[in-house]
Amino acid sequence: MSTNIPCVLMRGGTSRGPFFLADWLPRDPEARDRTLIAALGSPHELQIDGLGGGNSLTSKVAIVSRSTQPDCDVDYLFAQVSVQEARVDTRPNCGNMLAGVGPFAIEQGLVPADPEGQTTTVRVYNVNTRSRIDVQVCTAGGQVHYDGDVRIDGVQGTAAPVLMNFLDAWGAVTGQIFPTGQRIDTIQGLQVSCIDAAQVMVLVRAADLGLRGDETPAELDANTALLARLQAVRLEAGQRMGMGDVTHSVLPKPVIVSPGTSPGSVVSRYFTPHQCHRSHAVTGAIGVAAASVLPGTVATDERHAPTAGLRRVEVQHPAGRIQVEVELSEVDGQFKLVQAALVRTARKILEGTLFVPESAPAH
């Protein structure tokens, strides 16, 4: 016997996974996590018995509900399901999957589409990081449109744009944008920047690791000594950032940074955390872009002096680039993050009934 659960499989940005209304899943977190593990087919390197794709980028879940926040439309809980372990982590956020939340919420009737305009803005409250994001969806004629002419690196073809404006994701997990109180710390003999800006990360210069910075994910994943060193840095950074033992958490994410090909650009290799991302996390791109425009970090772009107002940063990753618009304010010579925005795309792949084994009851 199996339990039947409604499910919508969607691509959001460069990630993919099932989307659920919260009412479709068990209310008890432990029962919910068992259901998600079974749904994705973990623990198994290929996730052959579920919806997962054998990679952290395709082992993700979005859970959506009407918002409990007075100024938001929907709540979005992101869940990262481990591929090779029976484990679910709801501490991080995922900006790529977020791209599908607006379209999903409109099509499920949680938010009405604007019947007259070309777009509908859905204000999303990310439960993981307690932050708000405005997600603008193409809804000409009062319906969600997935087809369009926007291309994002890491995804074949084109689709309709989804504009995401992160309003207050600074220090959302740890309480401070620089949780250690320093913009540069020395950990395991390396200068690093521990930052909580849309994503919790520990940034390391490529040159300090003896790298060029533009290595492929396959090259980096094959470097076992590098992976071990990044893990040691990550574990100590987690302690210093007040997160405790992060051995079984995906946060903080290690990121290797180096100067980009021109002023206003930065090369980034983002780890998830034990493998190099084949492209780049959206939230990670925002954090890297923020670190590059703020003074005094290992990623600071010394070719471009910090200024108040909008700054466009090009984050160069293994599959291409992500353009991030970062807005800074300045008070008494101190620069502060105001908001950050970027464009992604999304696509509904299928909608139907998910059959969950009886060993992972849905209710």
Q: List pLDDT tens digits, range 100-134.
A: 999 999 999 999 999 889 999 999 999 998 999 99
**Of the candidates 342, 20, 14, which has an alpha carbon nearest to the alpha carbon of residue 198?**
342
pLDDT at 217 over 60: yes
Q: Output the pTM of the full model.
A: 0.85
Q: What is the mean pLDDT of residues 64-76?
A: 97
Mean pLDDT score, 220-230 = 97
Rounded to the nearest 10°, the torsion over CA 195, 320, 190, 312 is -50
Single out the residue of 294, 105, 102 nearest to residue 182, CA to CA. 294
Burial environment of residue 244 by CB neighbours within 10 A (0 to 12, 13 to 18, 19 or more): exposed
pLDDT at residue 362 tops 60: no
Q: Among 342, 13, 340, 12, which Cα is nearest to 197's?
A: 340
Q: What is the largest CA-CA distance in the chain?
A: 66
How, if at all, do strands 119-126 and 74-81 pair?
parallel
**Whole-angstrom Cα Rg for the chain:** 20
Report the percent of the chain where pLDDT is more than 70: 99
